[in-house]
Amino acid sequence: MTTNSQSILQAAVVRLLKPLVRLLLRHGVSLGAFMDLAKRVYVELALHEFGIPGRKPSISRAAIITGMTRKEVTRIAGLPLVSDAAVQDTYNRAVRVIGGWVRDPAFLDADGQPASLPLEGATGSFTALVRRYSGDVPVRAMRDELLRVGALEQAPDGRLHLASEAYVPAHADADKIGILGADVADLIATIDHNLTHTPERSRLQLKVAYDNLPREPLETFRGAAAGEAFKLLQRFDRQLSALDRDANPVVEGTGRMRAGIGIYYFEEACDTDSQD
């Protein structure tokens, strides 16, 4: 990498670290704790992705490419794994349940909208929905989770209504942070892929932005953008769900791939006088 490329990369890292560090400081994560996490990732990738082909991963090579001592690499490699698998599993299963409720004719009303469902029943019930789209997760646990995040409402007669076609935790910081980790990782992985592949093999990475906008019309644009983006994602959701083996076990093909499209809105003040 040239000196200029190194400088640009470092500037890019500083830019992406600013919102991350702001979040870490807000949640009381110290520099020392962040450094420990960064070391874990450096050691993990050095051992498992940057080894010499044909040779077993070695502590010595990991020490060389990370700049750490062999003693430090050994210590870090022996630490317990840090995982948000439980949060991601809950998120994925909840999304599948909501998606099935929105798309599957077995759970739609006469107008093609998500029907209100009784909790129990062999067919056309919330129990049948969860068992079809969420595997072995207890039905009441899924009901409680969707109620907790505001995606589900329960009527006095016990029937369940879909309140939101998106699984977005309204109040739980832990859940939102878990989603943040997955979404930002996907975006950075796409950028890394595009940096290392030809244009013919690049992945979708587009953005529309302007930097001299008045504050007042943005509220209207923000709402309109959210509505249009949601409609677009619903279309993509229908296409991908038709190919997903969990939803359609008869789908043929090789390998097991993960793919998707994410859309996000951003907004910030360009001068200090306009900040709240």
CA distances to 114, 150, 164, 222 from 154, rounded to whole Å, are 14, 11, 13, 30
Q: Is residue 238 part of a domain?
A: no
**Is 172 part of any domain?**
no
Placement of tokens 């029943």 in the chain: 121
Give the residue numbers spanning the domain of 126.
85-162
Each residue's pLDDT tens digit, 107-147 = 999 999 999 999 999 899 999 999 988 878 899 999 998 99
DSSP letters, 141-166, are HHHHHHHHTTSEEE-TTS-EEE--SS
Inside any domain, residue 233: no
Which helix or strand (DSSP H or E) is residue 184 part of?
helix 173-196
Same domain, 120 and 78: no
205-260 tens-digit pLDDT = 999 999 999 999 999 999 999 999 988 988 898 888 889 887 788 999 999 999 99
Tell me, yes or no, whether 25 and 71 share the same domain: yes
- Asked if 71 and 101 sit in the same domain, the reply is no
Query: Could you tell me if residue 156 is inside a domain?
Result: yes
Residue for token digits 């935790």? 169
Beta bridge partners of 114: 108
- Give a yes or no: residue 179 inside a domain: no
Rg of the Cα atoms in the chain = 23
What is the spatial distance between Cα 69 and Cα 96, in angstroms, rounded to a whole number?
Answer: 45
Looking at 47, 82, 117, the residue that finishes a domain is 82
Number of domains composing the chain: 2
Nearest to 104 by CA among 119, 115, 118, 92: 115
Q: End-to-end CA distance of the chain, in Å?
A: 41
Q: Distance of alpha carbon 73 from its chain centroid, rounded?
A: 29
pLDDT for 149 beyond 80: yes
Copy the structure tokens of residue 75: 């210590």
Same domain flag for 91 and 154:
yes
Picking from 82, 100, 131, the residue at the C-terminal end of a domain is 82
Confidence bin at 175 (pLDDT 50/70/90): low
Examine residue 67 and state whether it is found in any structural domain, yes or no. Answer: yes
Residues 118 and 133 both lie in one domain: yes
Q: Could you count the other beta carbons within 10 Å of the beta carbon of residue 70?
A: 13
Does pTM surpass 0.85?
A: no
Which of 144, 162, 180 lies at the terminal end of a domain, its last residue? Answer: 162
- Is residue 171 in some structural domain? no
